[in-house]
């Protein structure tokens, strides 16, 4: 389970809120992997939600990094593009396989390890450049 803590704070409250929403949904995905019955509609909704939310979140975060001249800006853009490419491949698998437990497991592992490492390595550098309020 992803558990929010102050180590993930970026200094931009809206970015943190968006990260928390992503944590919640990735944890929901984890709960689904433990369930014996996985309703296809629930998986569909979650995959589509993540897809849309992630794109908007990435855009917003990139704008913040640009505005504050964050040293992570370029690395962040590249990392986001790489994640979206990986997500796109997983989505193709999903379209072929459907909502199997193996797919959910794979998506969950990919999303949870990526977001954890990405926030701690790239996103939190925002904290060093965002003006304190």
Q: Which of 73, 123, 125, 126 binds Fe ion (CB under 5 A)?
A: 123
CB of residue 72 to Fe ion, shortest distance in Å:
8
CB of residue 34 to Fe ion, shortest distance in Å:
28
Question: Chain-centre distance of CA 83, in angstroms?
Answer: 9
Query: 74-91 in b/e burial notation, b at 16+ Cβ within 10 A?
Result: eebeebbeebeeebeeee
How many residues of this chain interact with Fe ion, rule: CB under 5 A? 3
In the complex with Fe ion, the residue whose CB is nearer, 15 or 32, is 15
DSSP 34: T
Count of CB atoms situated within 10 Å of the CB of 73: 20
Q: Could you give the string, one character per residue 17-56, with x where binding to Fe ion holds by CB under 5 A and - elsewhere? A: ----------------------------------------
Question: Chain-centre distance of CA 9, in angstroms?
Answer: 15
Binding site for Fe ion (CB under 5 A): 61, 76, 123
């Amino acid at each position: 389970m992803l558990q929010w803590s102050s180590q993930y704070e970026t200094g931009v409250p809206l970015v943190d809120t968006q990260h928390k929403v992503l944590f919640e949904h990735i944890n929901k995905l984890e709960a689904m992997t433990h369930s014996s019955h996985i309703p296809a509609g629930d998986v569909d909704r979650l995959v589509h939600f993540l897809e849309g939310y992630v794109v908007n979140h990435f855009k917003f975060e990139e704008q913040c990094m640009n505005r504050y001249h964050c040293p992570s800006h370029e690395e962040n853009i590249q990392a986001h593009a790489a994640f979206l490419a990986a997500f796109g491949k997983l989505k193709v698998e999903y379209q072929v396989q459907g909502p199997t437990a193996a797919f959910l497991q794979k998506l969950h592992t990919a999303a949870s390890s990526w977001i954890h490492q990405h926030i701690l390595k790239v996103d939190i550098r925002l904290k060093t450049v965002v003006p304190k309020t």
